[in-house]
Chains A and B, each alone.
Chain A
């Protein structure tokens, strides 16, 4: 079974600064997908960024980028130019890329989450 670990229960950053959230995972699969989700106080989980394991290039979405180290099974999220609206709980998640009889879609394994506080 896959596991996802976020070792930072809480992080804080000053507005306009950069912060990195850590995530490690354990899997024996070679084909998988990694995600970062954001959950603001509204409770709605919002996809921030996605990385396919077969891609060597790190994914980027505007101010959000990842550092994907496949051999180390590490998947950190970097938020540049932090904004007050970035304050939320951030979850790292794993999904198998292998269909096993049915499909693996939607079967996400989540980490425990990191609460990010942004100070003005």
Chain B
């Protein structure tokens, strides 16, 4: 257990549904991240939040909408997704600025879009 909890563990949704992924970290970290892990592709960074402020959006389509209400919680709101959005979505956190900071990952949400 790394101290980063993601729910749900699995999610199946239709293209017209709206759902949200949740991430919570119990480590007192200041930075949180969303990564996407697709089959046969390297992990891709989607969003970065530092002290609740979004500092990175890696050209992610607007059908993915992140929310960071505080430094411990991170959400990814999903709407009108496409089948190609099916992937493992990983949340991570780190202490924050600093060249030696270490990322702690959750176990991910396996998303299937039908």
Contact = CB atoms under 8 A, between A and B. Distances in A.
B2 A91 contact: no
Nearest to A3: B42
Interface residues of A, number: 22
A105 B43 contact: no
Interface stretch (B13-21, B63-71, B72-80, B97-105): B97-105
A91 B43 contact: yes
A84 interface: no
Contact of B102 (A44, A47, A91, A109): A47
A97 B99 CA distance: 7
Contacts, number: 60
Nearest to A96: B99
Interface residues of B, number: 28
Contact of A112 (B40, B48, B50, B108): B40
B94 A105 contact: yes
B97 A112 contact: no
Contact of A43 (B31, B103, B107): B107
B103 A108 contact: yes
Given A42-B107, A47-B103, A106 B92 contact: yes
Interface in A24-49: 33, 42-47
Contact of A108 (B43, B97, B99, B106): B43
A103 B43 contact: no
A110 interface: yes
A109 B48 CA distance: 14
18 contacts: A33-B99, A42-B107, A43-B90, A43-B107, A44-B105, A44-B106, A45-B90, A91-B43, A102-B55, A102-B56, A103-B55, A105-B97, A105-B99, A105-B101, A106-B33, A106-B101, A108-B45, A112-B41
